[in-house]
Structure 1
Amino acid sequence: MKRLQPVIWTKGTFLSPQYLQLQDRFLENLLQFHLESLSFCPWGFRSLQISQETLAAGSFGISSASGILPDGLLFDIPASDGAPPPKLLADCFEPDQTTLELFLAVPQYRERGLNVATSARQGGARYRAEIELFRDENTGLSEKPVQIARKNLRLLVEGDALDGYSTLRVARVLRTEAGMFQLDPHFVPPLLDFQASDYLSAIARRLVEILSARSSAIAGVRRQKNQSLADFTAADIANFWLLYSINTAFPAFRHLFETRGGHPEVLYAAMLDLAGALTTFSTTIHPRDLPTYEHDDLGRCFTELDEKLRLLLETVVPTNFVSLLLKPVQPSIYATSLDNEKYLVNTKMYLAVNAETSKADIVGKAPYLVKVCSASHIEHLVRQALPGLPLTYVDSPPSVIPIKLNYQYFSVSQSGLCWEAIQRARNLAAYVPGELPNPQMELIILLPQAN
């Protein structure tokens, strides 16, 4: 029960401990009431460091931790509070048990009961009385003993009686077949800041990276009219809205990860917003399928939502083509590697050519002057004046190909001796004579799902 009634101080009041205790309770409960009213799930760890050395020795211990317990009690280990005694894990596991959850606990406040232990026999109290010497803060002199209430923190395990305690789930320990103990990497305790968890921070970082890559990939598909306009065909409308959804979410995720941090629910809400928008383009995932937030089970709900969100991003932003830049390797010879088997099986290839000459020159001369073969055979073709793979000008390339200004596109035949040489060598080279000055070339490969 919260004490929200202030103490009435009047002239002649006999000052007893109860007056000061009730005043402290009123201020504590007032702060907690404000916090619970204005914040969502205002309890959990702000920071947590589990001792790996203690775990390797077969026990579980906390090196440092800070946060708020569900009943509003603040803790800061070891700066203000002592770490709870470690737990010997072998004594906590049943013979056939492989997982064990542990809790940071403190006895609950007892209304009209014992809350401060003055001896070891009163171990069930919320606080332990300790005496410390303090100097006068004004003069720095006159050191006096003062009794302080040290929080009676302890570690409990699943199966222990948790009634009468305020608890925070702190870890899940796994026992391997070899009898060794390790932390469950997917377990996340209740948090006040998601950056206190390496697992949640990794999810946020991965989403920032994926969104950045997806944004660039979709933007590259847009057909450019000129330096300031982009032309979208009917087939590009879906990609436009995908780009809008991703570009709307990306700055917020980057802000959370790189600058702000914050309550896990803030990150979760941002993930739900993006996932909900992306379900518009999915035939398999409905908004109702997205998991709800569970503050006491962050590992499960974040893992499930992260998997669905990444699936949505992969599904609605497929990688339908690969663009490879041909780099100069010798005078007039340009080449690129084809080291992935998928580039050579059931694909279609297009050579994008730009040069410091007119469009008519590129369209008219490239099919007759440009020779395409493997890097090891291209010089032989030039010396013997033999043709390479046939090139055919394409006025309207497939819609999935990002059309670049001043580039002309040619389909590349994928048959004959030169194609067999390319398949064996896993590379492609092009010879471009001086009639097409300062050429720039890209090989665009349409993967099977785009054909």
Structure 2
Amino acid sequence: MDYNHDKTVWLEGMFLSPQHFQQQERYVEHYGRQLFNILAPDQAGFTALRIDSEQLKTGKIFVREAKGIFPDGTPFELIHHLCRDIDKTNSGSYIYLALPLTRSGSVDTASSESINKSIRNLSYDHMVRDSTNHENDPVQMELSRLNFCLLIDGESLDDYSTLPIARIQESRSDGELVLDNAFIPRCLDYRVSRYLQEQVQNLQAMMQQRASVIAGQIGVEGEQKSFQTMQVTYMWLQALNRYNALLRLIGQQSGVCTATLYRYLTVIAADLATFTSTLAPEFPHFDESNTFASFAPVIASLRLNLKLASKDRVITLVWDDRLFELRRLLRTKVEDRTLFNDGRFILAVASSLNQNQARNIFISSAKLCGQNRIAERVRSALSAVPITVLATPPIELRTKPNTVYFEVDTSNELWQEMVNTRDMLALHVDQQMPDDTAINCYVIR
């Protein structure tokens, strides 16, 4: 016969038996579980979990603290420590905190001296004081507590409500246990998982650092960048400031379960992906049984996008012009070698010439290559790295009057030689260009 969870009817003059109180208790527990399942469906997991790392060295799983809710809706708090020896044959196995299920027609409470793991509650004697009159003597009462146990893969879990607490990665020759760091327990507070807590802290720190870098970029070279480029930079800063504040609040707030954290992080990752790709990646459906596999691609996407966030799209290379007056030579050292991989090198030339004159004269009067090659190229009138006239400036740069723009052919052999030998970039401009010529070199990525 299945348990009935209907409410007990209390009548005047009725004879009381233990069954009346047991039925009323079943009604209250069932009512509470129904309410919880409506307000928070499928919510189960730990709000606290602590495994003694020292005991792992002796081959034992020793649970010092555990709080949470079992999948059957039973809230729990581990009062007494739980310990279990693990042998070498259990490598790769999961360890479960288990509670016997309520079974109709079965006794669910037994003496604490019982070693039957299938009993749901263990009874024990306890002296209870009168909380309304301190003069009354304590009365010995029989109370009960939940009968927890630790189970391992290969043992029957059918009659238990279980929560996995760890995965044994390795059992070493000396008996020491190594737990799988990639395992994330089912959590009602994600901070139970050290891995997730560290990831949120790291992401928040990255956002704060990237926001500081971008804020600096806005002020330093804002005059050189186009409105579109500055708009993207401001949008980056806005997104980073917003999500930095959100992650800081998440880190301070208790009760953020793993599913809620996953929802937050996927939204953030999809939003940040807007700046680096056309569509946000399709992240996997959240799987409570394999939390690490769910979070891994989301966190990887966030870290990649945050890495790209601090990269300034427009970099100005500063010329060393000490030899310009004497030899008409400009030099610069490209410290960031990654600019050679994905950057467009642009020359912006401003002078008193009109734009058509500047385009024609600069092409014939300028030679660009590595510093070690520039002298022979100029002296022998040899060709250098080709530069191409741009009809309009790149969209990343702000249009300026009396300025013409050229793009460097970075596929040229002389350019590749300069890159491979880590030579300085040198630009020679002969006397055809007026003395008021101002040349800026930008790298756009």
Equivalent pairs, count:
401
Q: Is 2:77 the partner of 1:82?
A: no
- Distance in 2 of aligned mates of 1:429 and 1:445: 19
How do 1:387-402 residues align onto structure 2 when only pairs under 5 Å count? Answer: 396-399=392-395, 402=396
Which amino acid in 1 is paired with 2:37? E
Can you list the C-alpha shifts for 1:21-59, whole angstroms capped at 9, x where unaligned? Answer: 222222111111100122132211112121111112211
The 3 A distance-change label for structure 1 pair 417 and 211 is same
Partner of 1:63: 64
State whether residues 68 and 74 of structure 1, in contact with CA within 8 Å, keep that contact through their aligned partners in structure 2: yes
State whether residues 204 and 248 of structure 2, in contact with CA within 8 Å, keep that contact through their aligned partners in structure 1: no
- Distance in 1 of aligned mates of 2:352 and 2:50: 66
Give the superposition deviation at 1:66. 0.8
SS of the residue 1:265 aligns to: helix
The 3 A distance-change label for structure 1 pair 336 and 28 is farther
SS of the residue 1:136 aligns to: coil
Which amino acid in 1 is paired with 2:26? R
How do 1:186-225 residues align onto structure 2 when only pairs under 5 Å count? Answer: 186-205=182-201, 213=210
Can you list the C-alpha shifts for 1:169-200, whole angstroms capped at 9, x where unaligned? Answer: 11111116756421111111211122221223
Give the superposition deviation at 1:397. 3.4
Which blocks of at least 5 consecutive residues in structure 1 are unaligned? 377-388, 447-451
- Distance in 2 of aligned mates of 1:120 and 1:330: 90
- State the superposition RMSD in angstroms: 5.5
Q: Identify the range of structure 1 (127-136 vs 403-412) with the bigger mean alpha-carbon deviation.
A: 403-412
- Distance in 2 of aligned mates of 1:64 and 1:181: 19
Which amino acid in 2 is paired with 1:87? R
- Distance in 1 of aligned mates of 2:336 and 2:173: 42
Give the superposition deviation at 1:230. 4.2
**TM-score, normalisation: structure 1:** 0.66
Which amino acid in 1 is paired with 2:76? F
How do 1:269-284 residues align onto structure 2 when only pairs under 5 Å count? Answer: 269-273=263-267, 281-282=278-279
Which amino acid in 2 is paired with 1:174? Q
The 3 A distance-change label for structure 1 pair 416 and 161 is closer
How do 1:12-51 residues align onto structure 2 when only pairs under 5 Å count? Answer: 12-51=13-52
State whether residues 324 and 336 of structure 1, in contact with CA within 8 Å, keep that contact through their aligned partners in structure 2: no
Q: Is 2:181 the partner of 1:185?
A: yes
State whether residues 47 and 189 of structure 2, in contact with CA within 8 Å, keep that contact through their aligned partners in structure 1: yes
The 3 A distance-change label for structure 1 pair 211 and 352 is farther
How do 1:7-406 residues align onto structure 2 when only pairs under 5 Å count? Answer: 7-77=8-78, 81-84=79-82, 86-90=83-87, 93-94=88-89, 98-121=91-114, 123-124=116-117, 125-140=119-134, 142-144=136-138, 145-175=140-170, 180-205=176-201, 213=210, 230-231=227-228, 250=243, 254=247, 257-260=250-253, 262-273=256-267, 281-282=278-279, 287=282, 290-307=283-300, 309=301, 323-324=314-315, 338-340=335-337, 342-344=338-340, 347-350=343-346, 396-399=392-395, 402-403=396-397
Which amino acid in 2 is paired with 1:60? I
State whether residues 389 and 406 of structure 2, in contact with CA within 8 Å, keep that contact through their aligned partners in structure 1: yes
- Distance in 1 of aligned mates of 2:137 and 2:368: 90
The 3 A distance-change label for structure 1 pair 293 and 46 is same
Q: Identify the range of structure 1 (419-428 vs 119-128) with the bigger mean alpha-carbon deviation.
A: 419-428
- Distance in 2 of aligned mates of 1:406 and 1:146: 90
Which amino acid in 2 is paired with 1:181? L
**TM-score, normalisation: structure 2:** 0.66
The 3 A distance-change label for structure 1 pair 245 and 225 is closer
Higher Cα Rg, which structure:
2
State whether residues 207 and 253 of structure 1, in contact with CA within 8 Å, keep that contact through their aligned partners in structure 2: no
Can you list the C-alpha shifts for 1:107-152, whole angstroms capped at 9, x where unaligned? Answer: 2223342222225235332122122333333455545133321221
The 3 A distance-change label for structure 1 pair 44 and 320 is closer
SS of the residue 2:292 aligns to: helix
- Distance in 1 of aligned mates of 2:148 and 2:95: 13
Can you list the C-alpha shifts for 1:283-312, whole angstroms capped at 9, x where unaligned? Answer: 9x6x5xx422222332233335545x4599
- Distance in 1 of aligned mates of 2:49 and 2:315: 46
- Distance in 2 of aligned mates of 1:296 and 1:375: 61
The 3 A distance-change label for structure 1 pair 325 and 48 is farther
Which amino acid in 2 is paired with 1:22? Q
Give the superposition deviation at 1:155. 0.4
- Distance in 1 of aligned mates of 2:84 and 2:342: 60
Which blocks of at least 5 consecutive residues in structure 2 are unaligned? 325-329, 373-384, 428-435
Which amino acid in 2 is paired with 1:173? I
Identity %: 23
- Distance in 2 of aligned mates of 1:66 and 1:202: 21
- Distance in 2 of aligned mates of 1:118 and 1:259: 42
